Amino acid sequence: MNPTAFVTGGSRGIGLAIAEKLCKQGYDVAINGVRGEESVQEVLADLQSLGTNVIYCQGDIGSDEDRDRIVDTLKTEFGRLNVLVNNAGVAPKKRLDPLKASTESFDRLIRINLKGPYFLTQMIASWMVDQKKDVSDFEGSIINIGSISATVVSPDRGDYCISKAGLAMHNLVWAVRLAEYNIPVYEVRPGVIRTDMTSAVTEKYDKLIAEGLTIQPRWGTPDDVGKAVSSLVRGDFPYSSGEVIMVDGGLTINRL
């Protein structure tokens, strides 16, 4: 029986790279996205070709009703869950000076980037605890995909930065709460990663990277993040629950 994993936002970008790594590690994987299932058939086929069972759980993790439906699907289709990867997140539709920021954008980002992962984790963690009680050798873990924006300020994306700072504390809260059950919780914190989310600012970051923004002079890739998650899921850091794994090319190193 294969171990199982659920990757939110797993149909593209960083989430898809994570799902690919987990399939290659022998996991049955559920991926999530807001697109209809007909739109991700090619993605599902590609993942299934790696040799494990892959399903799609359509829904908005920021919606209470959708979270309930997603977890019900996981329980029906898999019956168990070993790994939760909270990856889904959105950027603001429009970058705005914080002096002119809108409550609509703030509420959207907090709902999807913070409230969604927090209450999805509540549901999955409770399920993992039950599995731990029922199966003595059950192994579970939770991995949160954060952002350097948790500590690096982008004034025109204040709502995004605040949502990611909240996710960093979410990581610590669950690490402490689940420690008694030996369910480790980690944050992987990417830097500038080449995805569709950053496609609109390619020229900006090409220039900044060329000028020394990162100590490793290149963009990060979804595969870089996937490799970090793969290592955590494999159990390579068994005594590091609550820790942050930086995948930022050294961008956040203080330099003179």
Q: Which residues belong to the active site?
A: 160
For the CA atoms of the chain, what is the radius of gyration? 18
Residue 188 backbone dihedrals phi, psi, to 5 degrees? -105, 125
Q: Is 112 exposed, middle or buried (0-12, 13-18, 19+ CB in 10 A)?
A: buried
Q: Is 183 exposed, middle or buried (0-12, 13-18, 19+ CB in 10 A)?
A: buried
Q: ∠ at Cα 78 (77, 83), nearest 5°?
A: 135
| Helix H or strand E encompassing 81 | none
For residues 182 and 238, is the Cβ–Cβ distance under 8 A? Answer: no
Helix (H, G, I), strand (E, B) or coil at 251: coil
